[in-house]
Structure 1
Amino acid sequence: MRNKELVYFKLTVILQPNWPVVYSGETISLRCEIEGGEGTQWTYEWRPTNRNSPTSSEYRIDRVSESDNGEYSCMVREGDRQLTEWSDAVTLTVRCESDLETVLLLDFSMKQFTSVISDHRNV
Protein backbone atom coordinates (compact mmCIF):
# COMPACT_ATOMS: atom_id res chain seq x y z
CA MET A 1 0.00 0.00 0.00
CA ARG A 2 1.31 3.44 -0.90
CA ASN A 3 1.52 5.92 1.96
CA LYS A 4 -0.30 8.62 -0.02
CA GLU A 5 -3.46 6.52 0.32
CA LEU A 6 -3.40 6.84 4.10
CA VAL A 7 -5.36 9.53 5.90
CA TYR A 8 -3.14 11.15 8.49
CA PHE A 9 -5.33 11.31 11.55
CA LYS A 10 -3.65 10.82 14.91
CA LEU A 11 -4.94 7.73 16.70
CA THR A 12 -4.57 7.27 20.45
CA VAL A 13 -5.53 4.24 22.52
CA ILE A 14 -6.89 5.10 25.98
CA LEU A 15 -6.94 2.38 28.66
CA GLN A 16 -9.64 2.59 31.35
CA PRO A 17 -8.97 2.23 34.17
CA ASN A 18 -5.57 3.74 33.46
CA TRP A 19 -3.64 1.73 36.05
CA PRO A 20 -0.17 0.23 35.55
CA VAL A 21 -1.51 -3.18 36.62
CA VAL A 22 -5.03 -4.63 36.66
CA TYR A 23 -6.02 -7.87 38.33
CA SER A 24 -7.71 -10.88 36.79
CA GLY A 25 -11.45 -10.70 36.91
CA GLU A 26 -11.61 -6.93 36.42
CA THR A 27 -13.23 -5.26 33.40
CA ILE A 28 -11.15 -2.96 31.22
CA SER A 29 -11.93 -0.83 28.22
CA LEU A 30 -9.59 0.29 25.45
CA ARG A 31 -10.83 3.23 23.40
CA CYS A 32 -9.39 4.28 20.05
CA GLU A 33 -9.61 8.07 19.77
CA ILE A 34 -9.15 9.67 16.37
CA GLU A 35 -8.02 13.29 16.36
CA GLY A 36 -9.65 15.24 13.54
CA GLY A 37 -11.98 12.45 12.44
CA GLU A 38 -14.75 12.79 14.99
CA GLY A 39 -18.31 12.30 13.82
CA THR A 40 -17.40 9.92 11.00
CA GLN A 41 -18.38 6.25 10.96
CA TRP A 42 -15.13 4.31 10.89
CA THR A 43 -14.35 0.61 11.00
CA TYR A 44 -11.64 -0.12 13.53
CA GLU A 45 -9.11 -2.92 13.63
CA TRP A 46 -7.34 -3.91 16.83
CA ARG A 47 -4.05 -5.63 17.58
CA PRO A 48 -3.58 -8.17 18.87
CA THR A 49 -6.28 -9.67 16.74
CA ASN A 50 -8.41 -12.42 18.20
CA ARG A 51 -11.76 -13.91 17.39
CA ASN A 52 -13.51 -11.39 19.67
CA SER A 53 -11.83 -8.21 18.42
CA PRO A 54 -14.46 -5.51 17.82
CA THR A 55 -14.74 -3.30 14.75
CA SER A 56 -15.81 -0.32 16.87
CA SER A 57 -13.75 2.32 18.67
CA GLU A 58 -14.14 0.53 22.02
CA TYR A 59 -12.54 -2.78 22.92
CA ARG A 60 -14.02 -4.03 26.20
CA ILE A 61 -12.67 -7.07 28.02
CA ASP A 62 -14.83 -8.44 30.82
CA ARG A 63 -13.00 -10.54 33.40
CA VAL A 64 -9.46 -10.00 32.12
CA SER A 65 -6.93 -12.77 32.63
CA GLU A 66 -3.17 -13.06 32.28
CA SER A 67 -3.71 -14.29 28.71
CA ASP A 68 -4.88 -10.72 27.90
CA ASN A 69 -1.43 -9.30 28.74
CA GLY A 70 0.18 -7.47 25.86
CA GLU A 71 0.32 -4.40 23.69
CA TYR A 72 -2.87 -3.08 22.10
CA SER A 73 -3.12 -0.70 19.16
CA CYS A 74 -5.80 0.32 16.68
CA MET A 75 -6.12 1.31 13.04
CA VAL A 76 -8.99 2.66 10.91
CA ARG A 77 -10.36 0.98 7.78
CA GLU A 78 -12.92 1.72 5.13
CA GLY A 79 -13.89 -1.64 3.68
CA ASP A 80 -10.63 -3.40 2.77
CA ARG A 81 -8.71 -0.13 2.58
CA GLN A 82 -6.44 0.85 5.47
CA LEU A 83 -7.00 4.57 6.14
CA THR A 84 -4.51 5.26 8.94
CA GLU A 85 -1.25 4.06 10.39
CA TRP A 86 -1.42 1.88 13.50
CA SER A 87 -1.64 3.86 16.73
CA ASP A 88 1.11 3.72 19.31
CA ALA A 89 0.62 0.67 21.51
CA VAL A 90 -0.73 0.69 25.06
CA THR A 91 0.49 -2.08 27.37
CA LEU A 92 -2.02 -4.07 29.39
CA THR A 93 -0.53 -5.87 32.39
CA VAL A 94 -2.79 -8.34 34.19
CA ARG A 95 -1.84 -10.09 37.43
CA CYS A 96 -3.71 -12.95 39.03
CA GLU A 97 -5.77 -12.24 42.16
CA SER A 98 -3.49 -14.35 44.34
CA ASP A 99 -0.74 -11.77 43.66
CA LEU A 100 -3.05 -9.07 45.06
CA GLU A 101 -3.82 -11.19 48.11
CA THR A 102 -0.09 -11.65 48.74
CA VAL A 103 0.56 -7.90 48.49
CA LEU A 104 -2.31 -7.11 50.86
CA LEU A 105 -1.17 -9.77 53.32
CA LEU A 106 2.42 -8.48 53.24
CA ASP A 107 1.19 -4.91 53.71
CA PHE A 108 -0.96 -5.99 56.68
CA SER A 109 1.94 -8.01 58.15
CA MET A 110 4.35 -5.07 57.85
CA LYS A 111 1.87 -2.77 59.61
CA GLN A 112 1.45 -5.33 62.42
CA PHE A 113 5.24 -5.73 62.67
CA THR A 114 5.77 -1.94 62.76
CA SER A 115 3.07 -1.62 65.42
CA VAL A 116 4.72 -4.28 67.62
CA ILE A 117 8.14 -2.60 67.34
CA SER A 118 6.60 0.80 68.11
CA ASP A 119 4.81 -0.59 71.18
CA HIS A 120 8.03 -2.28 72.33
CA ARG A 121 10.01 0.98 72.10
CA ASN A 122 7.38 2.83 74.13
CA VAL A 123 7.68 0.41 77.05
Structure 2
Amino acid sequence: MITVTQGGIYYCKGGRGNPVFFTEDSDPITIEKRVSNKAVVSLEPSWPLIFSGEKITVRCQISLGGSTEWEYEWSKPDSSTGLANNASINLNASVINSGSYRCMGKNKQELYSVTEWSDAITLTVSGQRPKSSISADSRVLPEGDTVTLTCSVTPSTPGWSYYWYRGKKTSEPLTMAEVVLHSDGQIGVSQEGDYWCRGGRGNPVYYTDYSDVISIKKTGESW
Protein backbone atom coordinates (compact mmCIF):
# COMPACT_ATOMS: atom_id res chain seq x y z
CA MET A 1 0.00 0.00 0.00
CA ILE A 2 1.22 3.51 -0.80
CA THR A 3 -0.07 7.03 -0.25
CA VAL A 4 -0.02 9.41 -3.22
CA THR A 5 -0.28 13.22 -3.27
CA GLN A 6 -0.38 13.83 -7.00
CA GLY A 7 -3.10 13.21 -9.52
CA GLY A 8 -2.39 10.80 -12.32
CA ILE A 9 -2.93 7.31 -13.70
CA TYR A 10 -1.61 4.58 -11.41
CA TYR A 11 -1.20 0.85 -11.78
CA CYS A 12 0.71 -1.86 -9.98
CA LYS A 13 2.16 -5.31 -10.40
CA GLY A 14 3.57 -7.93 -8.08
CA GLY A 15 6.95 -9.60 -8.19
CA ARG A 16 8.82 -12.31 -6.26
CA GLY A 17 11.93 -14.42 -6.39
CA ASN A 18 15.42 -13.81 -7.64
CA PRO A 19 15.44 -13.07 -10.46
CA VAL A 20 12.11 -11.33 -9.92
CA PHE A 21 9.08 -12.87 -11.56
CA PHE A 22 6.47 -10.17 -12.28
CA THR A 23 2.73 -10.45 -12.63
CA GLU A 24 0.94 -8.64 -15.39
CA ASP A 25 0.14 -4.98 -14.79
CA SER A 26 -3.08 -4.25 -12.96
CA ASP A 27 -5.86 -2.30 -14.56
CA PRO A 28 -5.08 1.43 -14.33
CA ILE A 29 -6.81 3.70 -11.84
CA THR A 30 -7.11 7.47 -12.27
CA ILE A 31 -6.55 9.68 -9.22
CA GLU A 32 -7.82 13.24 -9.54
CA LYS A 33 -6.69 16.11 -7.33
CA ARG A 34 -9.56 18.21 -6.04
CA VAL A 35 -8.93 21.95 -6.19
CA SER A 36 -10.61 24.61 -4.07
CA ASN A 37 -12.24 26.39 -7.02
CA LYS A 38 -16.01 25.95 -6.96
CA ALA A 39 -18.13 25.17 -10.00
CA VAL A 40 -21.55 26.85 -10.19
CA VAL A 41 -24.15 26.08 -12.86
CA SER A 42 -26.84 28.61 -13.80
CA LEU A 43 -29.66 29.15 -16.30
CA GLU A 44 -29.93 32.22 -18.52
CA PRO A 45 -32.67 33.39 -18.42
CA SER A 46 -33.42 31.99 -14.96
CA TRP A 47 -37.21 31.70 -15.34
CA PRO A 48 -38.75 28.88 -13.26
CA LEU A 49 -40.73 27.57 -16.25
CA ILE A 50 -39.47 27.45 -19.83
CA PHE A 51 -41.64 26.76 -22.87
CA SER A 52 -40.71 24.50 -25.75
CA GLY A 53 -38.99 26.60 -28.42
CA GLU A 54 -37.45 29.20 -26.10
CA LYS A 55 -33.69 29.78 -26.25
CA ILE A 56 -31.93 28.88 -23.00
CA THR A 57 -28.27 28.84 -21.98
CA VAL A 58 -26.96 26.53 -19.25
CA ARG A 59 -23.70 28.07 -18.00
CA CYS A 60 -20.86 26.75 -15.84
CA GLN A 61 -18.73 29.24 -13.90
CA ILE A 62 -15.57 28.45 -11.95
CA SER A 63 -14.92 30.69 -8.94
CA LEU A 64 -11.47 32.28 -8.62
CA GLY A 65 -10.60 30.85 -12.00
CA GLY A 66 -8.20 33.67 -12.85
CA SER A 67 -6.26 32.97 -16.04
CA THR A 68 -6.66 29.22 -15.69
CA GLU A 69 -7.94 27.47 -18.79
CA TRP A 70 -10.69 25.04 -17.94
CA GLU A 71 -12.28 22.12 -19.64
CA TYR A 72 -15.84 21.40 -18.56
CA GLU A 73 -17.58 18.15 -17.83
CA TRP A 74 -21.36 18.10 -17.85
CA SER A 75 -23.93 15.81 -16.30
CA LYS A 76 -27.23 16.16 -18.17
CA PRO A 77 -30.81 14.82 -17.86
CA ASP A 78 -30.19 12.08 -20.43
CA SER A 79 -27.60 10.66 -17.97
CA SER A 80 -24.78 11.43 -20.38
CA THR A 81 -21.52 13.08 -19.37
CA GLY A 82 -18.92 14.59 -21.60
CA LEU A 83 -16.06 17.06 -21.83
CA ALA A 84 -16.38 20.38 -23.63
CA ASN A 85 -14.22 23.45 -24.10
CA ASN A 86 -17.26 25.70 -23.84
CA ALA A 87 -18.54 26.84 -20.48
CA SER A 88 -22.13 26.89 -21.73
CA ILE A 89 -24.74 24.75 -23.44
CA ASN A 90 -27.17 26.56 -25.75
CA LEU A 91 -30.58 24.93 -26.00
CA ASN A 92 -33.59 25.36 -28.21
CA ALA A 93 -35.68 24.10 -25.32
CA SER A 94 -37.85 21.01 -25.61
CA VAL A 95 -39.50 18.77 -23.04
CA ILE A 96 -36.65 16.24 -23.28
CA ASN A 97 -34.28 18.93 -21.94
CA SER A 98 -36.13 18.97 -18.61
CA GLY A 99 -34.12 17.74 -15.66
CA SER A 100 -31.01 18.39 -13.59
CA TYR A 101 -27.72 19.81 -14.85
CA ARG A 102 -24.34 19.73 -13.08
CA CYS A 103 -20.84 20.66 -14.16
CA MET A 104 -17.23 20.42 -13.03
CA GLY A 105 -14.01 22.03 -14.24
CA LYS A 106 -10.77 20.33 -15.25
CA ASN A 107 -7.58 22.39 -15.28
CA LYS A 108 -5.97 22.21 -18.73
CA GLN A 109 -2.52 23.20 -17.41
CA GLU A 110 -2.47 20.75 -14.50
CA LEU A 111 -3.64 17.35 -15.61
CA TYR A 112 -5.94 15.55 -13.17
CA SER A 113 -6.68 18.76 -11.20
CA VAL A 114 -10.46 19.08 -11.02
CA THR A 115 -13.18 20.88 -9.09
CA GLU A 116 -15.96 19.17 -7.21
CA TRP A 117 -19.21 18.70 -9.09
CA SER A 118 -21.45 21.76 -8.84
CA ASP A 119 -24.80 21.64 -7.11
CA ALA A 120 -27.53 20.62 -9.53
CA ILE A 121 -29.89 23.10 -11.14
CA THR A 122 -33.24 22.00 -12.55
CA LEU A 123 -34.59 23.06 -15.93
CA THR A 124 -38.35 22.65 -16.35
CA VAL A 125 -39.68 22.80 -19.91
CA SER A 126 -43.40 22.78 -20.76
CA GLY A 127 -44.60 21.47 -24.10
CA GLN A 128 -47.78 23.56 -23.82
CA ARG A 129 -47.69 26.92 -25.57
CA PRO A 130 -48.67 29.76 -23.21
CA LYS A 131 -51.86 31.69 -23.92
CA SER A 132 -52.66 35.37 -23.70
CA SER A 133 -56.00 36.79 -22.63
CA ILE A 134 -57.35 40.32 -22.89
CA SER A 135 -59.95 42.12 -20.78
CA ALA A 136 -61.37 45.66 -20.58
CA ASP A 137 -62.76 47.71 -17.73
CA SER A 138 -65.51 48.75 -20.16
CA ARG A 139 -66.56 47.81 -23.70
CA VAL A 140 -67.92 51.35 -24.22
CA LEU A 141 -65.54 54.24 -24.87
CA PRO A 142 -66.72 57.38 -23.02
CA GLU A 143 -66.41 60.59 -24.99
CA GLY A 144 -63.08 62.26 -24.25
CA ASP A 145 -61.91 59.41 -22.03
CA THR A 146 -60.08 56.08 -22.33
CA VAL A 147 -60.80 52.41 -21.74
CA THR A 148 -58.23 50.33 -19.86
CA LEU A 149 -57.18 47.05 -21.47
CA THR A 150 -55.33 44.35 -19.56
CA CYS A 151 -53.26 41.55 -21.10
CA SER A 152 -52.16 38.50 -19.11
CA VAL A 153 -50.35 35.25 -19.86
CA THR A 154 -51.32 31.77 -18.66
CA PRO A 155 -49.55 30.00 -17.04
CA SER A 156 -48.31 32.98 -15.06
CA THR A 157 -44.52 33.22 -15.32
CA PRO A 158 -42.10 36.19 -15.18
CA GLY A 159 -40.35 38.00 -17.99
CA TRP A 160 -43.20 38.94 -20.34
CA SER A 161 -43.55 42.11 -22.35
CA TYR A 162 -46.91 42.80 -23.98
CA TYR A 163 -47.73 43.59 -27.58
CA TRP A 164 -50.99 45.26 -28.54
CA TYR A 165 -52.85 45.18 -31.85
CA ARG A 166 -55.87 46.97 -33.30
CA GLY A 167 -57.73 45.93 -36.43
CA LYS A 168 -56.17 42.81 -37.90
CA LYS A 169 -53.80 40.33 -36.32
CA THR A 170 -51.46 40.93 -39.24
CA SER A 171 -51.08 44.58 -38.30
CA GLU A 172 -47.99 45.97 -36.59
CA PRO A 173 -48.11 46.30 -32.79
CA LEU A 174 -49.47 49.58 -31.48
CA THR A 175 -46.86 52.16 -30.51
CA MET A 176 -46.73 54.09 -27.25
CA ALA A 177 -47.86 57.15 -29.22
CA GLU A 178 -51.17 55.38 -29.91
CA VAL A 179 -51.96 54.27 -26.36
CA VAL A 180 -51.55 55.38 -22.75
CA LEU A 181 -49.27 53.00 -20.86
CA HIS A 182 -50.70 52.43 -17.37
CA SER A 183 -48.44 49.59 -16.21
CA ASP A 184 -46.81 46.48 -17.52
CA GLY A 185 -49.72 44.62 -19.08
CA GLN A 186 -52.18 47.53 -19.01
CA ILE A 187 -52.86 50.30 -21.52
CA GLY A 188 -55.48 52.98 -22.04
CA VAL A 189 -57.04 53.36 -25.51
CA SER A 190 -59.06 56.26 -26.88
CA GLN A 191 -60.04 54.80 -30.25
CA GLU A 192 -62.78 52.31 -30.97
CA GLY A 193 -61.94 49.07 -32.72
CA ASP A 194 -61.06 45.42 -32.31
CA TYR A 195 -58.07 44.79 -30.02
CA TRP A 196 -55.78 41.80 -29.47
CA CYS A 197 -52.66 41.22 -27.43
CA ARG A 198 -49.93 38.68 -26.92
CA GLY A 199 -46.90 38.28 -24.68
CA GLY A 200 -43.27 37.93 -25.69
CA ARG A 201 -39.99 37.42 -23.86
CA GLY A 202 -36.37 36.49 -24.44
CA ASN A 203 -33.90 37.20 -27.24
CA PRO A 204 -34.90 36.26 -29.88
CA VAL A 205 -38.44 36.99 -28.74
CA TYR A 206 -40.63 33.98 -28.01
CA TYR A 207 -44.32 34.85 -28.46
CA THR A 208 -47.45 33.43 -26.88
CA ASP A 209 -50.52 32.78 -28.99
CA TYR A 210 -52.71 35.80 -29.71
CA SER A 211 -55.53 36.53 -27.30
CA ASP A 212 -59.16 36.52 -28.37
CA VAL A 213 -60.47 39.76 -29.84
CA ILE A 214 -62.23 42.37 -27.74
CA SER A 215 -64.33 45.11 -29.38
CA ILE A 216 -64.45 48.65 -28.03
CA LYS A 217 -67.28 50.92 -29.23
CA LYS A 218 -67.98 54.60 -28.77
CA THR A 219 -70.80 55.73 -26.50
CA GLY A 220 -74.15 55.45 -28.24
CA GLU A 221 -73.05 53.01 -30.96
CA SER A 222 -74.89 49.72 -31.31
CA TRP A 223 -73.11 46.37 -31.11
Task: Answer yes or no: same fold by TM over 0.5.
Answer: yes
Task: Give the partner amino acid of 1:25.
Answer: G
For residues 24 and 2 of structure 1, what CA distance do their matches in structure 2 show?
A: 41
Q: Does 1:57 align with 2:96?
A: no
Q: Does 1:71 align with 2:100?
A: yes
Q: Does 1:34 align with 2:62?
A: yes
Secondary structure, aligned partner of 1:88: coil
Task: Determine if contact 1:53/1:59 at 8 Å carries over to the other structure.
Answer: no
Secondary structure, aligned partner of 1:67: helix
Task: Determine if contact 1:11/1:32 at 8 Å carries over to the other structure.
Answer: yes
Q: Does 1:19 align with 2:47?
A: yes
| Larger radius of gyration between Structure 1 and Structure 2 | 2
Higher relative contact order (CA 8 A, sep 6+): 1
Structure 1 residues 54, 28: closer, same or farther in 2, change over 3 A? farther
Q: Which sections of structure 2, spanning at least 5 residues, go unmatched?
A: 1-29, 140-223
- Larger deviation: 39-48 or 75-84? 75-84
Task: Determine if contact 1:47/1:72 at 8 Å carries over to the other structure.
Answer: yes
1:28-78 CA-partner distances (Å, limit 9, x unpaired): 1111111111321110011115488743211111x2100000011101124
For residues 113 and 74 of structure 2, what CA distance do their matches in structure 1 show?
A: 12
Task: Determine if contact 1:75/1:82 at 8 Å carries over to the other structure.
Answer: no
Q: How large is the RMSD of aligned CA atoms in angstroms?
A: 2.9
TM-score w.r.t. length of structure 2: 0.41
Q: Which sections of structure 1, spanning at least 5 residues, go unmatched?
A: 117-123
Q: Does 1:94 align with 2:125?
A: yes
Aligned length: 106
